[in-house]
Copies of this chain bind each other. A is one copy, B any other.
Amino acid sequence: MKLGRATIKDIAKALNLSASTISRALKDYPGISDETKRKVKEVAEEMNYRPNAIALSLRKSRSFTIGVIIPEVVHFFFSSVVSGIEEVAHSRGYNVILVQSNEKLDREISSIETMLSNQIDGVLVSFSKETKTFNHFTKVLDQGFPIVFFDRAPEIPGAINVTVDDYQGAFDATTHLISQGYKNIIHLGGPKLLKISTERERGYKDALTHNGLDFKSEYVIPCPIGTVEESQQIVAELFSNMTVRPDAFFACNDVGAVGAMMACREIGLKIPVDVGVVGFSDWQFCSMLEPKLSSVAQPGALMGAKATEILIDIIEKKIDPESMENSLILKTKLMARDSSKRF
């Protein structure tokens, strides 16, 4: 009874019954006298018995636990996703085990290993910036282990991916800028390796040509690090060097957009009068800035929720991974605020 870890056996001894009777009584099996059930439950309560989930896992080869591998938690988008994941998992009776890769490939690899060792029922993954090959995923995937990817999803045949429509989001944002009369729109890009970056760039490009504007490759400027300082500096240099003056920025993420806003303010350009700015992700702080930053909202919590539902459905064999649509693309929503509205 130490540590309140009373087992079925302990109850059995206390009542002079067999372990199986206790087990059955606790689960209201038919064929156990009400009297016994009552007694058993009473004693169980007294000894504060708690079923041992580990023993159950071992028996059923199921842990009712799902794993989550993300680059980092301290990130508005990812924490939103985790929130959605946790919510759905909890409501369906699953625990969530969380690992950050810290954008490192080796931690990503070792994480799935531990997860498998721990008899995790399935995992949700958004891979690291370092990840270029996917053997560590396909290997376990081929063994029938359920994995659902979200946001940063690999192009593996048969992999199930939940993403947002980055292309459309970027297209909308750029179109919006054009509709507000901006003509020289710079795109501050993200890490080239990630599909989300290339998709956003593609949306930007198509929106331009679709609206009769020229796409100029020198208008796409990568911000590999992803800090405010970086984009602020890049934009500042831009204004001092470029022959044609940019009048708008569509950034791959909100942090980049903030940098652009700061750089503009520094050289005395007014937003949105002189320069328009739109970000991507719609982090909380967008509406706290002055002027309020326009941004493309990604449904983070919804993404987490959807991905989790799919994963658990696969685990519980409610759907067959072979026969399903292998990608779910969620809609983004342009939040047009003061930073890009001239009219």
Contact = CB atoms under 8 A, between A and B. Distances in A.
Interface of A: 2-5, 48, 50-55, 57-58, 61, 63, 65, 72-76, 79-80, 82-83, 86-87, 90, 95-100, 107, 113-114, 116-119, 140, 143-145, 228, 258, 262, 265, 283-285, 287-290, 301
A228 B288 contact: yes
A212 B304 CA distance: 53
Contacts of A143: 3-4, 48
Report how many copies the assembly holds: 2
Given A74-B79, A96-B97, 15 more contacts: A2-B144, A3-B144, A53-B119, A54-B63, A65-B118, A73-B82, A73-B86, A83-B100, A86-B98, A86-B99, A95-B97, A262-B290, A285-B288, A285-B289, A289-B289
B290 A288 contact: no
Contacts of A100: 83, 86-87
B114 A288 contact: no
A113 B50 contact: yes
Contacts of A61: 5
A145 B5 CA distance: 10
B118 A95 contact: yes
A128 to B, nearest CB: 15
Contacts of A145: 3-4
A75 B283 CA distance: 12
Contacts of A50: 113, 116-117
Of the listed residues A52, A63, A75, A285, the one surrounded by the most CB atoms of chain B closer than 10 A to its CB is A285
29 contacts: A3-B145, A50-B113, A51-B117, A52-B58, A53-B117, A54-B58, A54-B118, A54-B119, A73-B73, A73-B82, A74-B76, A74-B80, A76-B76, A79-B79, A87-B100, A90-B99, A90-B107, A95-B97, A95-B114, A95-B118, A96-B98, A97-B97, A228-B287, A228-B288, A265-B290, A285-B288, A285-B289, A289-B289, A289-B290
Contact of A72 (B51, B83, B119): B83
A2 B142 CA distance: 11
Given A289-B290, A290-B289, A290-B290, A117 B52 contact: yes
A84 to B, nearest CB: 9
Nearest to A95: B97
Contacts of A57: 54
Contacts of A74: 76, 79-80, 82-83, 301
A250 to B, nearest CB: 18
A71 to B, nearest CB: 11
Contacts of A140: 4
Contacts of A76: 74, 76
A95 B63 CA distance: 14
Contacts of A4: 116, 140, 143, 145
Contacts of A72: 83
Nearest to A75: B79
A283 B74 CA distance: 11
Contact of A82 (B87, B98, B290): B98
Contacts of A144: 2-3
